[in-house]
Amino acid sequence: MAVEVVMPKQGNSVESCIIIDWKVQEGDIVSVGDVVCEAETDKSTIEVESTADGTVLKLLYAVEEEVPVMKPIMVVGEPGEQVQEAPTGDSASEPTEREDSKPETKESTPAPEFKHASTAGSEHSAHPVSPRARAAATAAGVDATTLDPTGPKGRVIERDVIGALKGREPLTPAAKAALVEQGLQSPERGSGIGGRVRSEDLVQVPQQPSAQPLAGSDGSFPGPVVETAVKGVRKVTAKRMHASLAETAQFTMNAYADASALQSLRARFKASAPELGLQKVTINDLILFAVSRTLLQFPYMNSHFHGDTMRTFEAVHLGCAVDTPKGLLVPVIRHAHARSLKQLSDEFKRLASLGVEGKAQPDDLTGGTFTVTNLGGLGVDTFTPVINVPEVAILGVGGISLRAVQNEDDDLQFIPHIGLSLTIDHQAVDGAPGARFLKALCDNIASLDLIMAL
């Protein structure tokens, strides 16, 4: 049945509005909330939203015409439906129809937060909540049902809410609303005034594992599926990785470097005096160190490729991939070539922990000239890393394994070796020069104890 959309009431003083611009035409399909026209009061310009779903059957006023508030401005219904007798007159003959559309107008919608908070509570009600606790929790934007209850019969009471709020910075009104409406989680401290939590500081609640562990237990196909929106770090990574493979000519070469020096250095650092601060230097730190020094001998590997130009850098700003709860991040160790092993190790740990805590700044993640990614700790031997464009190469670091080597006495010896996978953009660097770099890197790693003296 055709429904009228009326010119909403604009405060007590406004009696009529002038339509400035129609945003829809007859025949258009509209939904509730779509802006249908712009109108001007004596104070401001407003956007009038549709209060009905359907096809626009008739616009009742032309642009520039003045419309008294609460008078119908257009009719919405099924396509082809007959529009009843022009309702522009001030006849009071359609009170019922007007009643129909009214509940959907804005002013009759009650404050939504309270409802959301309480319905959210009843849905996954882990614990019953006292009314006082519920009120306190709603005011603070907290889901009371998830708190640890200390009240009688496992009830969440006010003191549980107060306890949960202790030490937490307040939320801005917008953050509170978003928290309740979108089911997000608040960090303890945000980026606003005095650590106030702003809406952009809120984070997704980690996905709960499915409650049905038996595969296919309900016989359905394909069974439960969790759909997650691709956004944030995931989206950036997806875009960059796809662009990297689509726009460059990547190929990977694998080699193994003698890891004896690495392992013995690592063992000595681990056993060194704590006051030297070297105990936490890792194999990865040693590799980063070797890479930073080797790149100085091969500036063409320490470059950016921009199609028409190559930018070769004197300084080595070394990116190193870090696995964080939010996804892959690549903090950049600036001036890696100028840092001692300890300085390099400390800086990487600082950047990596910022990344893991989600506190990395954009500046910490940009400006790299070469990247290292390490999957050795996860049992990977060699792999094909994807270049972080516009860099021209990336080094993948694998695990250490024993390889048989024939020594001078023609005896077989098992020597620990570390797998290295160098992906190169063939647009910028050819195979042989790339292989020379990889060979030099293997040599430098094998004699790292000497390189460190340089």
- Please give the Cα distance from 32 to 100 (Å, whole number): 13
Residues β-bridged to residue 322: 329
- Please give the Cα distance from 451 to 443 (Å, whole number): 10
Give the nearest distance from C-beta 367 to other proteins in angstroms: 9
Q: Which is nearer to other proteins, 199 or 382 (CB)?
A: 199
Give the nearest distance from C-beta 45 to other proteins in angstroms: 6
Q: Which is nearer to other proteins, 236 or 435 (CB)?
A: 236
- Please give the Cα distance from 257 to 268 (Å, whole number): 20
Distance of CA 353 to the CA centre of its chain: 17
Residues β-bridged to residue 320: 372
Give the nearest distance from C-beta 241 to other proteins in angstroms: 23
Residue 359: both structure tokens together: 């506190």
Say if strands 327-329 and 412-425 run parallel, antiparallel, or are unpaired: unpaired
Query: Containing H/E element for 288?
Result: helix 283-297
Q: Which is nearer to other proteins, 10 or 252 (CB)?
A: 10
- Please give the Cα distance from 236 to 219 (Å, whole number): 37
Residue count (the chain): 454
Give the nearest distance from C-beta 326 to other proteins in angstroms: 18
Q: Which is nearer to other proteins, 197 or 393 (CB)?
A: 197
Give the nearest distance from C-beta 396 to other proteins in angstroms: 28
Q: Which is nearer to other proteins, 151 or 358 (CB)?
A: 358
Residues β-bridged to residue 395: 372, 422
Quick one: DSSP state of residue 185?
Answer: E
Query: Containing H/E element for 77?
Result: strand 72-77
**Using CA atoms in the order 104, 109, 115, 119, what is the torsion angle rounded to 10 degrees?**
0
Q: Which is nearer to other proteins, 24 or 446 (CB)?
A: 24
Q: Are 112 and 46 in contact (CB under 8 A)?
A: no
Q: Where do the H-state alpha helices sit in 127-231?
A: 131-140, 158-165, 173-182
Q: Which is nearer to other proteins, 198 or 403 (CB)?
A: 198
Q: Which is nearer to other proteins, 159 or 198 (CB)?
A: 198
Give the nearest distance from C-beta 17 to other proteins in angstroms: 11
Q: Are 259 and 286 in contact (CB under 8 A)?
A: no
Question: Which residue, chain included where needed, has tokens 């702003």?
Answer: 198
Give the nearest distance from C-beta 46 to other proteins in angstroms: 7
Closest CA to 9 of 125, 79, 76, 98: 98
- Please give the Cα distance from 30 to 44 (Å, whole number): 25
Q: Which is nearer to other proteins, 138 or 199 (CB)?
A: 199
Number of helices (H) and strands (E) in the chain: give both, helices first.
11, 20
User: Which positions lie near other proteins, rule CB under 8 A?
Assistant: 9-12, 41-47, 106-107, 172-175, 177-178, 189, 191-193, 195-196, 198-199, 334-335, 361-364
What is the sign of the dihedral through the CA atoms of 335, 341, 347 and 349? positive
Please confirm whether the linkage preceding 390 is cis (ω < 30° from 0).
yes
Helix, strand, coil distribution of the chain in percent, nearest 5: 35, 25, 40
Give the nearest distance from C-beta 335 to other proteins in angstroms: 8
Q: Which is nearer to other proteins, 112 or 163 (CB)?
A: 112
Q: Which is nearer to other proteins, 152 or 167 (CB)?
A: 167
Name the phi and psi angles at 431, rounded to 5: -60, -50
Give the nearest distance from C-beta 106 to other proteins in angstroms: 6
Q: Give ∠ CA 280-285-291 in degrees, rounded to 5.
A: 165
Give the nearest distance from C-beta 361 to other proteins in angstroms: 5
Give the nearest distance from C-beta 178 to other proteins in angstroms: 7
Q: Which is nearer to other proteins, 107 or 408 (CB)?
A: 107
Give the nearest distance from C-beta 43 to other proteins in angstroms: 4
